Amino acid sequence: MSEEKFPINIWINEDRYAKLSKAGLGDLCEEMLAGLKVLRVYADAAQRDKILKLFPTAKFDSATTKSIELLPKDVKDKIFDTIVEKESVDIMAAFLAKF
């Protein structure tokens, strides 16, 4: 059985979409809410717990979407920038290693 993964939803506006497209990652966006684009970065259970501990405003939406929400904007921006820089969404371990 594969390990359960928990998404962090990076919501994509036009500016973010342009940067993703330039990095060749535009196709990774999904339409999640009435056409709103989202890029999902996944954390495993241990990473999820570390994120919730590191950023107390963050919340695990256990009831509806099983996603990690309400990370501070600057943290989301850093995650997004790391994705663009590494041209990959598999960045969570590297991102958390900085903390």
Partner 1 sequence: MELGHGRKPIVERIMEPAEAKEKIKNLVQIPIRSQIANEVIGISYGFFSPLQGFMGKADVDSVCKKMRLADGTVWSIPILFDLTAEEIAKLGLKPGMSVLLTFNGNPMAIMEISEIFDYDKKEMCKAVYGTDEAKHPGCARTYAYADKFLAGNITLVNRPKINAPYDPYFIPPLEMRKRFAERGWKRVVAHQTRNVPHTGHEWLMKGAWFQTYAELPIDKPYVGVLVNAIIGAKRKGDYIDEAIILTQDELRKSGYFGDHNHLTSLTFWDMRYAGPREAVFHAALRTNLGLTHHMYGRDHAGVGTYYGAYDAHNLLATVKDELDIVPVYSMNWLFCPHCGEITSEGLCNHKSEWQKFSGTVVRSIVVDGVKPPRLIYRPEVFDVMMECGEKYGFGSPFVTDDYLEKRIPVFEIPPMK
List residues near partner 1 by CB under 8 A: 9-13, 31-36, 57, 59, 61-65, 67, 69-73, 76
In whole angstroms, the minimum distance from the beta carbon of 31 to partner 1 comes to 8
User: C-beta of 61: minimal distance to partner 1 in Å?
Assistant: 5
Residue 22 or 72: which CB sits closer to partner 1?
72
HEC sequence for the chain: CCCCCEEEEEEECHHHHHHHHHCCCHHHCEEEECCEEEEEEEECHHHHHHHHHHCCCCEEECCCCCEEECCCHHHHHHHHHHHHHHCCCCCHHHHHHCC
Smallest distance from partner 1 to CB 23, Å: 18
- Of the two residues 2 and 62, which places its CB atom closer to partner 1 in the complex? 62
